[in-house]
């Protein structure tokens, strides 16, 4: 760690001293041989677990054949196969086009550029609390924590942020469902009709479940109503599934919980089980940009695409969407039971294996408890559970989709012991 501090940029966050050396399934092992149940999935990447044998085999076989041959200049088969398979599993029966890149931020950059090119409109809408990346364009959409923007201005100016449907902390201080979802009507009445002219707007970026912002789940009919408004004004919906996609929520893509078909979908993290890749998938007619208008060197690397093809097959054959739903439902049940016992657990929410538990100092005032959640996180680490937080004071539960009930129980036992201790210290 000392050497790391000498060599590595100080801009990255280190949650606790986990020095990973190897991983297998849902377990990550450190350099001292300590084993941790991995509720992080290496930051929501290892959906099929660490070093799944089929993924490792595919990587080896592809690496022996062809490691790279610049997809934007020449042809090779794995991008077509992977693009086709991704088009099949993303919502909507319409014809689709696929653009590959290397990361989530790049996938969103491509979506921004495609939306501007197609519509010829400059403006974007995004949410408060959103996280879409850290490049200059995507940082302009990101509105999660001040540290992500501080001292980096100017950003791209044409982004308006509207409140995310965060019912536990409604920005309008209203109650669902009596509110009749004013937050969605607000976008039309107070933004589009007053200053953010729809005829100049290219797209709205949405996270179907806000990830970095605190694992926030919008109400049941929210996205259906939002899509109607966007369609009314011919504004594209870009669905950022970089964290929530590839089965995390129990569906291939989380927006499916709302039955909405977005115009553009972006994904990354879990796509190739740890190899860098990002993807932007749109209705065919949207990606009508001219040759040379957007490209990169490494996107859609053949080794990553081969790994990705395995990820899709594994999720299907090992029935991981079903497992995510089953284990997630069980996890939510246990966490809700804990919520009854410990007053620092203010809210339990999630879908599939994308679950957030928001810590509060007081159940009435809902004052966030950022120190307490960090205390619990550190205690978990000392006891063999790797888990981190999101938003101001939310613990995020995102284990690999292959997790078993035994490991869910083992992890939750560690979590509960830490919550119990921190709760007792508060008294």
Ligand X SMILES: Cc1ncc(COP(=O)(O)O)c(C=O)c1O
Q: Which of 207, 263, 372, 375 binds ligand X (CB under 6 A)?
A: 207
Which is nearer to ligand X, 134 or 366 (by Cβ)? 134
Which is nearer to ligand X, 103 or 121 (by Cβ)? 103
**Cβ-count burial 330-341 (b if 16+ within 10 Å, e if not):** ebbebbeebbee
Site for ligand X in 235-254 (CB under 6 A): 240, 242-243
Q: What binding mask, one character per residue, do residues 96-135 give for ligand X by CB under 6 A, x or -?
A: -------xxx--x----------------------xxx--
Which is nearer to ligand X, 240 or 263 (by Cβ)? 240
CB of 312 to ligand X, least distance (A): 19
Asked whether 63 and 286 are in contact (CB, 8 A), the reply is no
Nearest partner of 119 among 201, 204, 10, 47, judged by Cα: 201
CB of 362 to ligand X, least distance (A): 29
Asked whether 219 and 396 are in contact (CB, 8 A), the reply is no
Number of residues that bind ligand X (CB under 6 A): 14
Chain Cα centroid distance, residue 295: 24
Which is nearer to ligand X, 49 or 208 (by Cβ)? 208
Which is nearer to ligand X, 104 or 368 (by Cβ)? 104
CB of 36 to ligand X, least distance (A): 20
Which is nearer to ligand X, 132 or 227 (by Cβ)? 132
- Three-state SS string over 145-159 comes to CHHHCCCCCCCCCCE
Q: Is the peptide bond before 154 cis (omega within 30 degrees of 0)?
A: yes
Q: What binding mask, one character per residue, do residues 268-307 give for ligand X by CB under 6 A, x or -?
A: x---------------------------------------
State the Cα–Cα distance between residues 369 and 404, nearest whole angstrom.
30
Which is nearer to ligand X, 130 or 407 (by Cβ)? 130
* H/E segment holding residue 372: helix 370-382
CB of 119 to ligand X, least distance (A): 21
CB of 278 to ligand X, least distance (A): 6
Q: What binding mask, one character per residue, do residues 18-57 give for ligand X by CB under 6 A, x or -?
A: ----------------------------------------
Q: What binding mask, one character per residue, do residues 146-185 give for ligand X by CB under 6 A, x or -?
A: ----------------------------------------
Residues near 232 by beta carbon (within 8 Å), at least 6 away in sequence: none
**Cβ-count burial 265-300 (b if 16+ within 10 Å, e if not):** bbbbbbbbbbbbbbbbbbbeebbebeeeebebebbb
Length of the chain equals 427
State the Cα–Cα distance between residues 54 and 320, nearest whole angstrom.
15
Q: Which of 38, 109, 188, 212 binds ligand X (CB under 6 A)?
A: 212
| CB burial of residue 381 (10 Å; 0-12, 13-18, 19+) | buried
CB of 185 to ligand X, least distance (A): 25
- Contact positions vs ligand X (CB under 6 A): 103-105, 108, 131-133, 207, 211-212, 240, 242-243, 268
């Amino acid at each position: 760690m000392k050497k790391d501090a000498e060599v590595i940029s100080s801009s990255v966050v280190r949650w606790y001293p986990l020095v990973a050396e190897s991983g297998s399934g849902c377990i990550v092992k450190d350099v001292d041989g300590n084993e941790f149940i991995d509720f992080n999935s290496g930051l929501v990447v290892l959906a099929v677990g660490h070093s799944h044998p089929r993924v490792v085999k595919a990587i080896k076989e592809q690496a022996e054949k062809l490691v790279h041959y610049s997809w934007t200049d020449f042809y090779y088969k794995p991008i077509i196969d992977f693009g086709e398979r991704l088009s099949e599993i993303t919502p909507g029966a319409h014809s689709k086009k696929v653009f590959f890149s290397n990361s989530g931020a790049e996938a969103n950059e491509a979506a921004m550029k495609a939306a501007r090119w197609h519509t010829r409109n400059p403006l974007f809408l995004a949410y408060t609390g959103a996280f879409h990346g850290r490049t200059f364009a995507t940082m302009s959409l990101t509105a999660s924590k001040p540290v992500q923007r501080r001292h980096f201005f100017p950003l791209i100016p044409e982004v308006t942020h509207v409140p995310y449907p965060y019912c536990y902390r409604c920005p309008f201080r209203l109650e669902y469902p009596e509110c009749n979802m004013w937050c969605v009507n607000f976008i039309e009445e107070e933004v589009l009709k007053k200053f953010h002219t729809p005829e100049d707007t290219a797209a709205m970026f949405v996270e179907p479940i806000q990830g970095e912002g605190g694992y926030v789940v919008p109400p049941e009919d929210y996205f259906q109503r939002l899509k109607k408004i966007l369609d009314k004004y011919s504004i594209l919906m870009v669905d950022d599934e970089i964290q929530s996609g590839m089965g995390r929520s129990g569906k291939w893509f989380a927006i499916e919980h709302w039955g909405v078909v977005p115009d553009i979908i972006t994904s990354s993290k879990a796509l190739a089980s740890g190899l860098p890749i990002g993807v932007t998938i749109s209705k065919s007619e949207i990606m009508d940009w001219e040759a040379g208008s957007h490209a990169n060197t490494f996107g859609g690397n053949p080794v990553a695409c081969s790994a990705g093809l395995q990820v899709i097959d594994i999720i299907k054959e090992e029935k991981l969407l079903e497992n995510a739903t089953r284990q997630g439902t069980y996890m939510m049940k246990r966490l809700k039971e804990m919520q009854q016992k410990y007053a620092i657990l203010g809210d339990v929410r999630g879908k599939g294996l994308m679950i957030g538990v928001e810590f509060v100092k007081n159940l009435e005032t809902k004052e966030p408890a950022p120190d307490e959640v960090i205390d619990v996180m550190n205690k978990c680490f000392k006891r063999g559970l790797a888990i981190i937080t999101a938003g101001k004071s939310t613990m995020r539960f995102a284990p690999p989709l292959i997790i078993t009930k035994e490991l869910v129980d083992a992890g939750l036992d560690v979590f509960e012991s830490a919550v119990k201790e921190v709760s007792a210290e508060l008294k």
